Amino acid sequence: MSAPFVLSETVNLAAAVVIGMFFGFFLERGGMGNPHKLTGVFYRTDFAVPKMMFSAILVAATGLCLLTDLKVLDMSRVWIIPTFLWPQLVGGALFGLGYLVSGYCPGTAAAGLASGRLDALVTMIGIGIGTLLFSALYPALAGFYNTSDMGTATLPELLQVNHWVLLAVVYIFAGIMFYFMERHERRGQATIVKTVLQAVPPSFDA
Amino acid sequence: MKKNSFWSPYLAGAGLGFTLLASFIIAGQGLGASRAFTVVAGKALNAVAPAYTATLSYLSKYLAGSLFSDWTFLEVTGLLIGALIGVLISRGFKVRFDRGSAMSVGMRVMTAFGGGIILGFASRLARGCTSGVALTGGSQFALSGWVFVIAMFASGFLFAALFRRLWS
């Protein structure tokens, strides 16, 4: 029998809670409940978000490639995120604005609330209202929402390459990105240390 | 909370990646978050104004079934518990109203609320958020995931240059 397992509804729903607990635990431990850390990437002061996001994508993608090739996991029974190119491009851009302004995204707002942040609760209420706004405007948006339907388009199919080739490209890209982020953060810290040292009197050395 | 009380983002990211992988194997689907907000808000609206809610065709798929039979709602409930465990073991729990150093409390209410509305609207337009589209789609090499990630970061950088004093 190959995964995903055929579970009873009750077991599957209990699994959702447990999976969610790990999800929330790692988000919080990575600092993803903190809006200063979450927005740091956009001001190039803290790159925790892309570091964590790309680490997670690489681990999960490697696992998917391996388990699919070993026939342990049947990808045809896994829900693949469908592509609607234009709505997702515009939606993603709008999402970036909402993330910058609020300092959260839906999952991280929940992590923020769990760490005691009441501003995250305000954002969560806003998200709920935003989804209702979309529902109310749906008749006018339906045309755009359903354009450029590409189904379950995946990059290996579109580019006609093996998934391992693509995975290698993502590893190289992420590696280069991590290198420059580490270098940039070290430089930023060096500047802070220098400023602090200049601010304290010379007797500090003695 | 001191910055260094968090884990390395690579370590926390690897943990998140294994969680996502486990979700594919066990449940046949990745992680999600925004759906839970739509389900809760939709059910709340339905309780207050059922006649109006019935006219919103888009919401019907979120209103079917009970709250406790919705996979993503239960997963986000778990997320709250897991994050609380994380913050308690690191002794980082503190009730506060977090904001940028240049933000007044009133301004923070507006950014948190207004930004939230944009996030909610955008997640529905994009058919998911950072969890459902970016992480899940990204790890599946789905085009949707990578389009979303690129659009989100490009837009965030652009608007951060325009609103320089918001968080920095």
Helices then strands, each counted (H, E), chain B: 8, 0
Neighbour count for residue A45 (Cβ, 10 Å): 16
Closest-CA distance of chain A to residue B128, Å: 9
**Residue tagged 């706004």 (tokens):** A133
Q: Give the Cα separation of B87 and A116 in Å (integer).
A: 9
CB contact under 8 A, A106 and B96: no
Report the sign of the C-alpha dihedral through residues B142, B80, A48, B154, in that order. positive
Do the chains contact at A55 and B143, CB–CB below 8 Å? no
What one-character DSSP code corresponds to residue B57?
G
Tell how far CA A8 is from the center of its chain: 29
DSSP state of B132: I
Give B44 to chain A, closest Cα distance, Å.
10
Asked whether this complex has an ipTM greater than 0.90, the answer is yes
Q: What local confidence, expressed as pLDDT, does residue A117 receive?
A: 98
Burial of B82 (0-12, 13-18, 19+ CB in 10 A): buried
Task: Report angle CA A118, A120, A122 to the nearest 5 degrees.
Answer: 80
Model confidence over A60-86: pLDDT tens digits?
999 999 999 999 999 999 999 999 999
How confident is residue B3, by pLDDT bands cut at 50, 70 and 90?
A: very low
Q: Does A177 touch chain B (CB under 8 A)?
A: no
C-alpha to C-alpha distance for B25 and B21, rounded to whole angstroms: 6
Query: What is the distance in angstroms between the Cα of A203 and the nearest Cα belonging to chain B?
Result: 27
Task: Tell me the per-residue pLDDT of B69-80, one tens digit each, with 9 for 90 and over.
Answer: 999 999 999 999
Q: Measured between CB atoms, does A193 come within 8 Å of chain B?
A: no
- The answer to whether the CB of A157 falls within 8 A of the CB of B150 is no
**What tens digit of pLDDT does each residue of A149-161 get?**
999 999 999 999 9
| Three-state secondary-structure class, residue B105 | helix
Choose among B28, B74, B116: nearest Cβ to A130: B116
Instruction: Please tell me the pTM assigned to this model.
Output: 0.94
Question: Which one-letter DSSP state was computed for residue B128?
Answer: S
Of A92, A106, A166, nearest to B148 by CB-CB distance is A92
